[in-house]
């Protein structure tokens, strides 16, 4: 079964069972407490917690998606059979309950088995199940254990695990979570380690692959680590799309399936080497170029902060591994084109943004190529003398653009250590010095206009809506005459983009929206999607200003009461503020 069929089959199956197919959300989550979307449930988190009414927005409690995800924690695992940075997750949800409809453990388990056995024709005898064995706060999930047995899964193939494996979530430090039950697929002895205790979650081999995680979400974990029961129970499931595709296509990993075939063939062609002989290097390059293409398609560009840093890291890592295979400069471009060819029908934005994607990759590659050889030489001479100090690692970062992770990897290959703490200190000192030169806060003796302040919030939201969620406030300065807003974005805005932004702000002004002020915990504000200027340190209780449902920001104020007081909004200038940061000046007429 090819991968497109699998995607379609899953969504159609759950649609037939009364679920609504929802589109994948962005890789950049609305909740800024985490960098990326790492699970299908993130776009539904406020419905799962009961803070928002799912019926009002979706007209059903049952949802299904194929979600784009990115996990930066897994970068060092790339090369094995089962991890990827970018991946897709298939999922189904039953959110909250009422008299008419809701399903929980039993139905979730039955659906999963029906899909795997009847639709995918997988052999049930290869399924191993894991359940939560309980901890001091939550008891063992005996109910699931019983249901699996009722569904003819023998007890010997049901295994108990603790919090790490079978208590899922929360995504960040706090939030919704619950015990989970996972379906692992036994790929057979040839993938095994032959230890007597080998089984699901084996630490020594990848014979057993987790393909589907059924989470029974019913708790909220607070910052003291306490689990409070949610007001409602939910089902949240996630099936590993790549892993399942590999099993269905009888391949050891996704790299041998139709999801990566064209990319791997292209690397073989350019390098004149065989995948089988250089598996790990091929896999790292293929994974990282795919991840990079998707991140850039979301409007992220390589930088030294947050998502941009992760993108830079994987692009540069792909280039470094390209060197090992002797790939010529510019090799990432044909690979990126293959990624677009594979995914363009499912994610048409890759095609419409093709030109931007290729230019950004090319620019980053050129930038890094210039210093890579010299940097590697310099690193090797440091390594020859001993461990790498914090200052040395910082110099490699400053002079050659080596992400610290790359220096660590090079050092590790020669059994040397890197003083990471020292590096962090040197970096922080450097950032503080450059920030002091850049940032000018409100007040400071000057007079400023609350109207322009409210307009700044509207502009911030409009920029994110039109240019994408990668836009973040980097600075702001308001006088009586004009606002000035600095934000992360790597290129000049097009005239039509400026016009769209102005129009959107003016539309919100005309709608005469109420500007609401509320006090809440910082944590709650961030979870609700409130924008924050992350360079500041916030107190526990913060003030949040919201403008209709268009803007939501942590801010000390002051603001005007209604948007109609603003008049007409006009952008008078755009310029570059520093690398990767644009500056807009605007006025109210």
Least separation in angstroms between residue 106's CB and ligand SER is 18
CB atoms within 10 A of CB 572: 10
Q: Report the site for ligand SER in 261-300 (rule: CB under 6 A).
A: none
According to DSSP, residue 117 is labeled: I
Least separation in angstroms between residue 259's CB and ligand SER is 19
- What is the three-class DSSP state of 122? coil
| Residue nearest ligand SER (C-beta atom) | 238
Q: Of the candidates 200, 156, 197, which has an alpha carbon nearest to the alpha carbon of residue 181?
A: 200
- When asked if residue 41 is in the footprint of ligand SER (CB under 6 A), the reply is yes
> What is the distance in angstroms between the CA of the first residue and the CA of the last residue of the chain?
60
Least separation in angstroms between residue 438's CB and ligand SER is 38
Q: Which pairing describes strands 20-21 and 62-70: parallel, antiparallel, or unpaired?
A: parallel
- One symbol per residue from 165 to 184: x for binding ligand SER (CB under 6 A), - otherwise; what is it? ---x----------------
* Interacting span for ligand SER (CB under 6 A) from 28-36, 234-242, 256-264, 402-410: 234-242
Tokens representing 82 are 């089962």
Per CB under 6 A, the list member of 39, 211, 478, 547 interacting with ligand SER is 39
- When asked if residue 213 is in the footprint of ligand SER (CB under 6 A), the reply is yes
Cis peptide before 170 (omega within 30 of 0): yes
Least separation in angstroms between residue 51's CB and ligand SER is 18
Closer of 41 and 295 to ligand SER (Cβ) = 41
Per CB under 6 A, the list member of 91, 200, 403, 475 interacting with ligand SER is 91
Alpha helices in 386-494 (DSSP H): 390-400, 404-413, 420-438, 450-467
Least separation in angstroms between residue 208's CB and ligand SER is 16
Sequence-ordered list of residues with C-beta below 8 angstroms from that of 70, at least 6 positions apart, any chain: 27, 36, 37, 38, 85, 86, 87, 291, 294, 295, 310
* Interacting span for ligand SER (CB under 6 A) from 37-45, 224-232, 290-298, 472-480: 37-45
Whole-angstrom distance, CA of residue 507 vs CA of residue 305? 33
Whole-angstrom distance, CA of residue 466 vs CA of residue 504? 9
Per CB under 6 A, the list member of 237, 281, 392, 470 interacting with ligand SER is 237
Phi-psi category of 262—alpha, beta or left, where left has phi over 0 and alpha has psi -120 to 50? alpha
Closer of 210 and 490 to ligand SER (Cβ) = 210
Per CB under 6 A, the list member of 10, 11, 30, 40 interacting with ligand SER is 40
Closer of 41 and 314 to ligand SER (Cβ) = 41
Q: Of the candidates 580, 460, 523, which has an alpha carbon nearest to the alpha carbon of residue 32?
A: 523
- When asked if residue 403 is in the footprint of ligand SER (CB under 6 A), the reply is no
Per CB under 6 A, the list member of 96, 170, 238, 291 interacting with ligand SER is 238
Closer of 6 and 483 to ligand SER (Cβ) = 6
Least separation in angstroms between residue 297's CB and ligand SER is 22
Cβ proximity of 97 and 232 under 8 Å: yes
Q: Where do contacts with ligand SER occur on this chain (CB under 6 A)? A: 39-41, 91, 168, 213, 215, 236-238
């Amino acid at each position: 079964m090819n991968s497109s069929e699998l995607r379609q089959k899953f969504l159609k199956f759950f649609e037939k069972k009364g679920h609504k197919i929802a589109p994948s959300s962005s890789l950049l989550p609305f909740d800024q407490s985490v960098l990326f979307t790492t699970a299908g449930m993130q776009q539904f988190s406020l419905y799962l917690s009961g803070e928002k009414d799912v019926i009002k927005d979706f007209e059903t409690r049952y949802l299904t998606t194929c979600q784009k995800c990115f996990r930066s924690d897994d970068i060092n695992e790339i090369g094995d059979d089962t991890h990827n940075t970018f991946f897709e997750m298939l999922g189904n949800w039953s959110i909250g309950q009422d008299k008419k409809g809701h399903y929980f453990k039993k139905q979730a388990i039955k659906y999963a088995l029906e899909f795997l056995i009847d639709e995918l024709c997988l052999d049930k005898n290869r399924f191993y199940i894991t359940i939560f064995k309980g901890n001091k706060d939550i008891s063992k999930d005996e109910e699931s254990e019983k249901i699996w047995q009722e569904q003819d899964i023998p007890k010997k193939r049901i295994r108990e695990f603790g919090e790490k494996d079978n208590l899922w979530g929360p995504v960040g430090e706090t939030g919704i979570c619950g015990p989970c039950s996972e379906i692992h697929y036994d790929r057979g002895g040839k993938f095994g380690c032959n230890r007597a205790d080998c089984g699901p979650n084996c630490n020594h081999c990848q014979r057993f692959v987790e393909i589907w995680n059924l989470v029974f979400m019913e708790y909220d974990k607070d910052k003291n680590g306490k689990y409070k029961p949610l007001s409602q129970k939910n089902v949240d499931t996630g099936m590993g799309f790549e892993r399942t595709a590999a099993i269905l296509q009888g391949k050891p990993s996704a790299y041998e399936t139709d999801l990566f075939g064209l990319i791997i063939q292209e690397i073989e062609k350019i390098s004149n080497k065989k995948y089988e002989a250089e598996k790990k290097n091929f896999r790292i390059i293929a994974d990282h170029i795919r991840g990079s293409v998707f991140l850039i398609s979301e409007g992220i560009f390589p930088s030294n902060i947050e998502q941009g840093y992760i993108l830079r890291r994987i692009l540069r890592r792909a280039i470094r591994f390209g060197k090992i295979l002797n790939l010529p400069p510019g090799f990432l471009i044909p690979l990126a084109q293959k990624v677009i060819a594979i995914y363009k029908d499912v994610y048409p934005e890759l095609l419409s943004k093709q030109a931007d994607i290729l230019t950004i990759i090319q620019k980053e590659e050129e930038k890094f190529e210039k210093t890579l050889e010299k940097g590697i030489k310099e690193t090797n001479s440091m390594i020859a003398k001993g461990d790498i100090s914090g200052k040395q690692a910082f110099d490699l970062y400053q002079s050659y653009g080596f992400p610290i992770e790359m220096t660590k990897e090079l050092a590790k290959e020669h059994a040397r250590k890197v003083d990471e703490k020292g590096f962090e200190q040197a970096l922080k000192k450097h950032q503080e010095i450059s920030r002091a030169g850049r940032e000018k806060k409100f007040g400071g003796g000057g007079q400023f206009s609350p109207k322009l302040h409210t307009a700044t919030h509207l502009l911030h939201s409009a920029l994110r809506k039109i240019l994408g969620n990668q836009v973040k406030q980097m600075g702001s300065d308001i006088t009586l005459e004009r606002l000035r807003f600095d934000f992360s974005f790597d290129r000049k805005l097009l005239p039509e983009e400026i016009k769209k932004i102005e129009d959107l702000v003016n539309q919100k002004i005309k709608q005469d929206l109420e500007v609401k002020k509320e006090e809440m915990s910082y944590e709650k504000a961030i979870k609700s999607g409130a924008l924050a200027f992350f360079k500041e340190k916030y107190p526990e209780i913060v003030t949040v200003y919201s403008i209709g449902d268009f803007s939501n920001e942590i801010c000390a104020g002051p603001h005007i009461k209604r948007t109609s007081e603003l008049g007409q909004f006009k952008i008078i200038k755009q310029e570059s503020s520093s690398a990767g940061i644009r500056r807009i000046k605007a006025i109210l007429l």
